Amino acid sequence: MDTILATEDLTKEFLGFTAVSGVSLNVRRGSIHGLIGPNGAGKTTCFNLLTKFLQPTRGSIRFDGRDITGMKPAEVARLGLVRSFQISAVFPHLTVLENVRVALQRARGRSFDFWRSDKVLGQYDARARALLEDVGLHTHAHLLAGELPYGRKRALEIATTLALDPVMMLLDEPTAGMTHEDVDRIVALVRRVAQGRTVLMVEHNLRVVEGLCDTITVLTRGRVLAEGDYAGVSRNPEVVAAYLGT
C-alpha cells in the first residue's frame, strides 16, 4: 500500500488524562479516509497532532516519506498537509473573491496588506476565479463572505484551503449543521477536490461517511476500535456498541 500518512503509537496526555492513546493510523495515498467515533473519542486531538497544533506525548508521524513529528504547523502546511479551518478563517467583510485572493497571497508567503489590496491582489484574480469555479461559487464571487448561507461558507472555506495547493486535506466535519441540500453539495465537492489528492475527514454524518470514504478508522476513548470499509466497520458489534453507548 502506498501510505501517505502514517502514525505510530501516537499518544497525547493532558495532565494525566490520555485523550489519544497508541494510535497507529495508515492513510493510503489518493484515498478518502474517514475518522469517526463518539464525542470525546479523540478525533479533534488527532487532527491537532497531525497538523502540529499539539505536540504528542509519545509516538511519531510520517507524511509523504518524512518524519514530521517535530515540525511546526507552517512547515507541515508547506509540505502540503493542510487542514480546512472552520468558518472563523473566512473574512466576513471581504467578498468571496477577495477571500480567495487573500488566501492565495498568503499561500505565496506574502503578508496580507489591505492598503495595496487592489493592485497587489489583482494578480491572483484568475487563479481565484478558477478556484471559485471548482467549488461552485463563481456566481457568488462579489457577495460579501459574511452574507453567504452556511453551506456556501463551508465551500468558500474549502476554496481557501485549496489555495494552499494541498497534497492532503484534513476536513473537520465538513457537513456539520447543514441542510440535506447543502450536504449533497458538499459531498459532491469533497469528491471533486479529492481527485488527485488524499483526504482525511472527521465526519459525524454516517450517510456521508458511507458515500465518500474508502477506509474508515473508528476511535473510542482515544484508541482505534476498528478500521476498514464502511460495510465492515458498520457491522462490527464493538462499533455498534460504542455508537449506542452500551
Q: How far is the CB of 5 from ligand ADP (least distance, A)?
A: 18
Piece of the chain touching ligand ADP by CB under 6 A; list 32-40, 93-101, 133-141, 149-157: 32-40
Binds ligand ADP (CB under 6 A): choice among 14, 112, 114, 150 = 14
Alpha-carbon gap, residue 5 to 28, rounded angstroms: 7
Piece of the chain touching ligand ADP by CB under 6 A; list 11-19, 97-105, 184-192, 193-201: 11-19
Alpha-carbon gap, residue 237 to 34, rounded angstroms: 19
User: x/- binding map, residues 121-160, to ligand ADP, per CB under 6 A?
Assistant: ----------------------------------------
Q: How far is the CB of 7 from ligand ADP (least distance, A)?
A: 14
Buried b (16+ CB within 10 A) or exposed e, 221-236: ebebbbbeebeebbee
Alpha-carbon gap, residue 92 to 35, rounded angstroms: 30
Q: Which of 43, 153 has the CB closer to ligand ADP? A: 43
Q: Which cell numbers in the block locate residue 75?
A: 512547515
Q: Which of residues 33-52 bind ligand ADP (CB under 6 A)?
A: 37, 39-45
7 contributes a contact to ligand ADP by CB under 6 A: no
Q: How far is the CB of 114 from ligand ADP (least distance, A)?
A: 33
CB under 8 Å to 105, separation ≥6 — which residues? Answer: 112, 120, 121, 124
- Positions in the binding site for ligand ADP (CB under 6 A): 14, 17, 19, 37, 39-45
